Structure 1
Amino acid sequence: MLQSKMKWKFTYNDQQHSSDTTSIKGMSGVTKRLLEKRNLTDPEAIDRFLHPSLDDLHDPFLMEDMERAVERVQTAISNQEKILVFGDYDADGVSSTTVLMEALTEAGADCDFYIPNRFTEGYGPNEAAFSQAAGDGYTVIITVDTGIAAIPEADTAKELGIDLIITDHHEVQETLPAAYAIIHPKTSESYPFNELAGVGVAFKFATALLGRFPGHLLDMVAIGTIADLVPLQDENRVLVSYGLKAISRSNRRGIQALTKVAGIESEVDEETIGFTIGPRVNAVGRLQDAAPAVQLFLTEDAEEADRLAEFINQLNQERQKIVADIAKEAERMLRSGEQELSNVIVVAKEGWNPGVLGIVASKLVRTFERPAIVLAIDPESQQAKGSARSIDAYDLFANCMEVRDRFIHFGGHAQAAGMTLDVGQIDELRQQLSHLAQQKLTADDYQQVLDIEMSIEVGEVSLQQIEEVNKLRPFGMGNPKPLFHMKHSPKELRLIGSRKNHLKVLFQDNSARLDGIAFGMGDMYPHISPHAELEVVGELGINEWNGKKNAQIMVKDLQVQSWQLFDLRGSKHLEKHITLSEQETYAAVSFRQSSSTSVPFQLPIYNPADLAYLSKVDGLLLIDLPEKLSDLSDLIREVKPGKVYACYQVEDSAFLKTWPSRDHFKWFYGMLVKRETFHLAQDRDKLAARKGWDRSMIDFISKVFFELGFVKMEDGILTINSTPSHRDLTESILYQERKNQLYVEQSLYYSTYKELKSWFDTQRNSLREEVVNGL
């Protein structure tokens, strides 16, 4: 057996598939089932999903306060008032700021933007910044991707004579700020969709303000929406679909420069933004003021765009190193016990960069499979500021709101949050959140979950099928890239990569072939036996190399549910060929205490009768052969180990020696009767040469006759016993032992791998025959 690293959740039921989609022509059964999983069975709904249309976008004026906000901005433009766009420092905030800045500029506004420095000002609006804005003559402040929790700041704005318009999408807390207007999907009962990203809300405001659809801003909407991990459903799906197309033909200097410096040569898709563009945009605000990222997207100067893009790329490289260093240090602290590894991780230290702690938290969640809060301590203020990430089963926002009094500032979502608290509150926060987790979660809840959409066969995967599945793009939250399950014995399994840390697998079923690649799973290789029925979960993709396209499955996790046989028969260097898992227990078993086979890894050697212990281990190393097949059969039937390592050798093989038939015994006895004596040392070689017999067979026949009393043996000379008893060859213990040895070797040593595996399978499934009270 081989345990999967993650929890596999099969989200489908083959018995529940609807037949409504069968009327859609040209669509495979696989794609139909994927649509059904997304509750899409009606042909019209499927068409809207597969062909997103701008006509499906909702009227921005359905949002509460939209008309009031637009009128205020129009008045400000007419009166030549100064408008400040107050943004956030992540990719959603940067793209939101860009969208609204361009829309206001087009509308004729006197505007500028301001993004707080996360290190000196923290998250969200702050009173000092508002006071500075008032001093600079701003009378209208519009927040984007932030502000819904800015209650005291809204009061400050009112006192300063500033009209505050909040556009945001974050979770709404108990009390709303007393702003001039709040544009937020979740505070608008009449708005049909409440999962817009901050940039989506800003885009809605821009649309209402301009009185037309600003299609040229869709490129920024796609970047912010994808980077912020909001569900790609409803409006978000439409906006991202069109936004990705807009990026591919965008004349925006900043996007062109950023894709160039990032080495993006293929068409930009949601994965390119999520893993390449988004992290670079985020890196700016994580390490310093995020203004250069906004300037990159606003500039129309090619040279400035190249300079800013190169600067941002360097910041991203610096960010990656800082993240790696902090994550390594945090992991050391938790493993050493320097800070408690509780149900909810809360780890804090002076000197950590607050801007990257969300990424560090994500790494800790994956490493320890539990929610994680990572905090940087400011020694002067004695406050800790940081970020949190969670597991699927633990709603971070809801649980933190239960202990809201511990925080100075707090905001976020179910899976991510940011907070500030006094250092003295850290231990209490850890205890309370861990207590809540202990109350609400089971052991299974902590394991990372893979939601599997479908089980498929090798023959169902083709380039055409993968291209059809890709019509469901863009993938993301709410429309995940499908994970498929496959169960098949690999034709080939090998390690690849310069460090041999990746696993390459080839599945073949008749003429159908499918490559699989499991990045970073090279450590699994020694735990997969040849011909094992391997189960993998992964995403389907197309690998293009030298102009040739091949279907492949990108493996996310794998397992072997059946027991495994590792064939190391005759090997004299076992430690080179065996890798034992630290998560499993093993025992070496010897049937002959005189075995000369060396035991790897200093494992203790157990007698097969020690069932009390052996029944608890995961794997057995068989270091020698039993005298009888039944000895091993009994052990396997009782223990049923998940792994069997056949490590035994044969030094004096019975199988390789000629086995004498009854005719051999009969002829030899007749020869002795005629000769009356036979001198083994002198006559054995002559007889062997004349008859073509093996010398060892002559010795064996002689010893059997002696044991049965047919001959006398003295000083190597055989003579006939004049009064022998009538006994059968099978009465000879030596004969039976050699016969047993022959069967044992034939079954366990000289058999093929397939034959040996079949023998073990039979023993595992057999029942001992018992006779009880004559029944």
Structure 2
Amino acid sequence: MTDLPAEVAAPGLVLGVARSALGRRWLWRQGDARTGLAIAQRLDLPELVGQLMAARGIDLEAAPLFLEPTLRALLPDPSVLLDMDRAAERLAAAVRRGEPVAVFGDYDVDGACAGALMLRFLRELGCPVRHYVPDRLKEGYGPNPAAIAALCAEGATLVVCVDCGIAAHEALRAAEGRADVVVLDHHKAEGPVPAVVAAVNPNRLDCGSGLRHLCAAAVGFMAAVATLRELRRSGFFSGRPEPRLLDLLDLVALATVCDVMPLTGLNRAFVTQGLKVMARGARPGIAALLEVAQARDAPSAYTLGFLLGPRINASGRIGEPDLGLRLLACDDPVEARAMAERLDAVNRRRQEVEGEVLAAAFAEAEAQVEAGHPVLLLVGEGWHPGVVGIVAGRVKERFNRPTCVAGLADGLAKGSGRSVPGVDLGAAVIAGRQSGLFETGGGHAMAAGFSFRPEQREAVHAFLNERLAHAADLPASADLLLDGTLLVPAATAALAEQIARLGPFGAGHEEPLFVLPRVRVARADRVGKEGNTVRAFLEGEGGGRLKAVCFRAKEGPLAELLLNSRGAPLHLCGALRAEAWNGAVTASLHVQDGAPAA
């Protein structure tokens, strides 16, 4: 059977677990049972689905659009974004005149997707377009004067900066008198924007759009919508077909998930509709990468975040900075397959480099936690700048503290930071740069990039500790919110498919997690090329058998619990998912945590 907690109005420990294998408290997710029942009755849904929606703050009026999010209902007029009309007018003018355009992007997934989107959009409209992605090690993030000057020298009369540019005042001055510049960005903006034709950014201080949670690819998509409207008004499409903008939504979905944007409202529509586009397999680059990643099921937010995203990111971290963008813009299946295989190989190398840094970072982080630092600042000689962001994320997950990780090279500590909900790391880094502590720095609430001189390390750490002192009140590990109990015989594929109706899941809309009480591990082993996944078969006290998988479990207490329980009863919690294989659909538990049963 499946039970949602009767005591949803009164928080309490689930099964008395105050410290799990991963050091977390298990708590019930709070929700209004009456609202859940009303949703289920009004929309003819299983009561479980209604209760899960209510527990995520969805009310009766919002429920229908939540289940079927559409751009028709949720996409606002692009003009709500400050400077969008000016950007659309300049882009439309470039199209009408067939101007040479340069798209300047970033080397992460959002930058690759936004760059590929703008590249394909303008090319289909007849513009000669080239792209430029800076080398992370040699040039760093964002536009630089030399690169902008070179693009102008090659003939570009319009430079479109995607996922960067909002703080590149000096670099963009290199285009003055030679080319116009349009910025399509989403990073935190401070003070005046660069002197460009248009700077579209929902995080501009003077932009009242209310769309601050959009990624850069989503901003680029809205710019394409506005540009198409401008061209339509001028009669450009008389006698010629319009581009199908909806075909670009797979890129927007991929960027939204991988840039950890909240999957609510408009973003939910972008990802829901983008996954449908991706499932058609029409983009050779994504189809090839899915094949190389051995993705068997229909694309999901998990597919984007854990299979595609890391491989595209890898090229910008330790490989060719523009390889991900070129793959996404590629129309040749044979060429796409070769690039996908290169990305897969680079990603394996990235994992090796990451592993070399991670052990040292964990050790240093543990010492800082014991010393009571609200913010962890970890610096190592020779730590590869391409993996410091990933390492920061892993350390943050383990210790539940905002974490900055930097490698020392060329007289600077260059790094990335990752934060936890409620702690705005980007604003702190920007303030540190304004005070002179950082040489460079910027980002958003959950992530930031920076550099500082090694002799400033203690001052930087003290500044971050003071600025984000409230992080000291966080528990040692983030609480795990559970949605209900589930007995093994009730963990069916049919139930998993009902739960999947609430997807896509991700930041801001977490996947439902259930606890299976007092199960026994009948068999467990390691699977996968690197042995990073534990596969187990669970048996319930009341009968039944269920497959379970635990990813990123090469070592650690959760892997130890699953592999060496020796028949002792365990409480295990995770997400129930349906998996299709050889024509059959089965259920499996994707384990998130566990604890010995009392």
Shared fold by TM > 0.5? yes
Residue of structure 1 equivalent to 2:413: 384
Q: Distance in 2 between matches of 1:342 and 1:389?
A: 15
Q: Distance in 1 between matches of 2:325 and 2:129?
A: 14
Residue of structure 2 equivalent to 1:353: 384
Closer/same/farther in 2, CA of residues 530 and 307 from structure 1, 3 Å limit = closer
CA positional deviation for 1:120: 0.9
Q: Distance in 2 between matches of 1:42 and 1:13?
A: 13
CA positional deviation for 1:127: 1.6
Closer/same/farther in 2, CA of residues 105 and 55 from structure 1, 3 Å limit = same
CA positional deviation for 1:78: 3.8
Residue of structure 2 equivalent to 1:469: 499
Q: Distance in 1 between matches of 2:360 and 2:378?
A: 10
Q: Does 1:103 align with 2:133?
A: no
Closer/same/farther in 2, CA of residues 316 and 152 from structure 1, 3 Å limit = same
Specify which of 167, 171, 180 is matched with residue 149 of structure 1. Answer: 167
Closer/same/farther in 2, CA of residues 340 and 125 from structure 1, 3 Å limit = farther
CA positional deviation for 1:201: 0.7
Return the letter of the residue paired with 2:385: P
Residue of structure 2 equivalent to 1:222: 253
Q: Distance in 2 between matches of 1:310 and 1:515?
A: 31
Specify which of 58, 66, 79 is matched with residue 49 of structure 1. Answer: 66
CA positional deviation for 1:549: 4.5
Unaligned runs of 5+ in 1: 563-775
State whether residues 80 and 110 of structure 1, in contact with CA within 8 Å, keep that contact through their aligned partners in structure 2. yes
Q: Distance in 2 between matches of 1:227 and 1:239?
A: 13
| Bigger Cα Rg | 1
Q: Does 1:306 align with 2:337?
A: yes
State whether residues 30 and 55 of structure 2, in contact with CA within 8 Å, keep that contact through their aligned partners in structure 1. yes
Closer/same/farther in 2, CA of residues 395 and 446 from structure 1, 3 Å limit = farther
Q: Does 1:441 align with 2:478?
A: no
Superimposed CA distance per residue, residues 86-105 of structure 1 (whole angstroms, 9 cap, x where no aligned partner):
11101110110011011111
Specify which of 242, 252, 255 is matched with residue 286 of structure 2. Answer: 255
Q: Distance in 2 between matches of 1:92 and 1:215?
A: 18
**TM-score when normalising by structure 1:** 0.66
Superimposed CA distance per residue, residues 310-365 of structure 1 (whole angstroms, 9 cap, x where no aligned partner):
2222111111111111212333555689x989442222233222111111212222
Q: Distance in 2 between matches of 1:103 and 1:317?
A: 32
Return the letter of the residue paired with 1:390: S
Return the letter of the residue paired with 1:445: P
Closer/same/farther in 2, CA of residues 102 and 544 from structure 1, 3 Å limit = closer
Q: Does 1:286 align with 2:317?
A: yes
Q: Does 1:432 align with 2:463?
A: yes
Q: Does 1:273 align with 2:304?
A: yes
3-state DSSP of counterpart to 1:81: coil
CA positional deviation for 1:23: 2.8
- Once the two structures are superposed, the pairs formed by residues 158-237 of structure 1 within 5 Å of their partners are 158=176, 160-187=177-204, 189=207, 191=209, 193-211=211-229, 214-237=245-268
Return the letter of the residue paired with 2:158: V
Return the letter of the residue paired with 1:470: A
Unaligned runs of 5+ in 2: 1-15, 230-241
Q: Distance in 2 between matches of 1:553 and 1:302?
A: 35
CA positional deviation for 1:514: 5.3
Superimposed CA distance per residue, residues 645-665 of structure 1 (whole angstroms, 9 cap, x where no aligned partner):
xxxxxxxxxxxxxxxxxxxxx
Residue of structure 2 equivalent to 1:744: none
Return the letter of the residue paired with 2:512: P
Specify which of 384, 393, 396 is matched with residue 425 of structure 2. Answer: 396
**How much identity, in percent, do the aligned residues show?**
30
Residue of structure 2 equivalent to 1:124: 142
Q: Does 1:90 align with 2:108?
A: yes
Residue of structure 2 equivalent to 1:542: 578
3-state DSSP of counterpart to 1:186: coil
State whether residues 414 and 452 of structure 2, in contact with CA within 8 Å, keep that contact through their aligned partners in structure 1. yes
Residue of structure 1 equivalent to 2:9: none
Superimposed CA distance per residue, residues 130-162 of structure 1 (whole angstroms, 9 cap, x where no aligned partner):
22222223222111111122233344433x443
Q: Distance in 2 between matches of 1:543 and 1:78?
A: 49
Closer/same/farther in 2, CA of residues 557 and 333 from structure 1, 3 Å limit = closer
Q: Distance in 1 between matches of 2:398 and 2:28?
A: 23
3-state DSSP of counterpart to 2:281: coil
Residue of structure 1 equivalent to 2:99: 81
**TM-score when normalising by structure 2:** 0.84
Closer/same/farther in 2, CA of residues 448 and 162 from structure 1, 3 Å limit = same
Q: Distance in 1 between matches of 2:281 and 2:549?
A: 34
State whether residues 429 and 448 of structure 2, in contact with CA within 8 Å, keep that contact through their aligned partners in structure 1. no
Q: Distance in 2 between matches of 1:505 and 1:103?
A: 50
Q: Distance in 1 between matches of 2:534 and 2:544?
A: 27
CA positional deviation for 1:269: 1.7
Closer/same/farther in 2, CA of residues 476 and 310 from structure 1, 3 Å limit = same
Residue of structure 1 equivalent to 2:272: 241
Closer/same/farther in 2, CA of residues 13 and 37 from structure 1, 3 Å limit = closer
Closer/same/farther in 2, CA of residues 513 and 291 from structure 1, 3 Å limit = closer
CA positional deviation for 1:168: 0.8
3-state DSSP of counterpart to 1:281: helix
Superimposed CA distance per residue, residues 454-491 of structure 1 (whole angstroms, 9 cap, x where no aligned partner):
445556543322211101111111221112234x333x
Closer/same/farther in 2, CA of residues 548 and 239 from structure 1, 3 Å limit = closer
- Once the two structures are superposed, the pairs formed by residues 582-731 of structure 1 within 5 Å of their partners are none
Closer/same/farther in 2, CA of residues 79 and 514 from structure 1, 3 Å limit = closer
State whether residues 396 and 414 of structure 1, in contact with CA within 8 Å, keep that contact through their aligned partners in structure 2. yes
Residues 230-239 or 286-295, more deviating:
286-295
State whether residues 219 and 250 of structure 1, in contact with CA within 8 Å, keep that contact through their aligned partners in structure 2. no
Return the letter of the residue paired with 2:201: H
Residue of structure 2 equivalent to 1:506: 539
Return the letter of the residue paired with 1:497: D
State whether residues 193 and 234 of structure 1, in contact with CA within 8 Å, keep that contact through their aligned partners in structure 2. no
Q: Distance in 2 between matches of 1:368 and 1:269?
A: 28
CA positional deviation for 1:124: 1.0
Q: Distance in 1 between matches of 2:302 and 2:136?
A: 27
CA positional deviation for 1:420: 1.5
Name which structure has the greater RCO, CA cutoff 8 Å, separation 6+.
2
Superimposed CA distance per residue, residues 551-573 of structure 1 (whole angstroms, 9 cap, x where no aligned partner):
443331223574xxxxxxxxxxx
3-state DSSP of counterpart to 1:403: helix
Residues 118-127 or 428-437, more deviating:
428-437
Specify which of 552, 560, 565 is matched with residue 523 of structure 1. Answer: 560
CA positional deviation for 1:550: 4.3
Closer/same/farther in 2, CA of residues 432 and 50 from structure 1, 3 Å limit = same
Return the letter of the residue paired with 1:279: P
Return the letter of the residue paired with 2:482: I
Specify which of 273, 297, 301 is matched with residue 328 of structure 2. Answer: 297
State whether residues 275 and 300 of structure 2, in contact with CA within 8 Å, keep that contact through their aligned partners in structure 1. yes
Return the letter of the residue paired with 1:489: R
3-state DSSP of counterpart to 1:370: coil
Residue of structure 1 equivalent to 2:236: none
Return the letter of the residue paired with 1:384: A
Specify which of 75, 80, 90 is matched with residue 72 of structure 1. Answer: 90
Superimposed CA distance per residue, residues 22-77 of structure 1 (whole angstroms, 9 cap, x where no aligned partner):
4335412211011112332325x322121222312222233222221121223234
Specify which of 565, 574, 590 is matched with residue 554 of structure 1. Answer: 590
Q: Does 1:322 align with 2:358?
A: no
State whether residues 77 and 110 of structure 1, in contact with CA within 8 Å, keep that contact through their aligned partners in structure 2. no
Q: Distance in 2 between matches of 1:552 and 1:429?
A: 46
Q: Does 1:451 align with 2:481?
A: yes
Aligned residues: 552
Q: Distance in 2 between matches of 1:516 and 1:132?
A: 54
Specify which of 21, 24, 27 is matched with residue 6 of structure 1. Answer: 24
Closer/same/farther in 2, CA of residues 468 and 322 from structure 1, 3 Å limit = same
Return the letter of the residue paired with 2:524: I
Q: Does 1:497 align with 2:525?
A: yes
State whether residues 502 and 522 of structure 1, in contact with CA within 8 Å, keep that contact through their aligned partners in structure 2. no
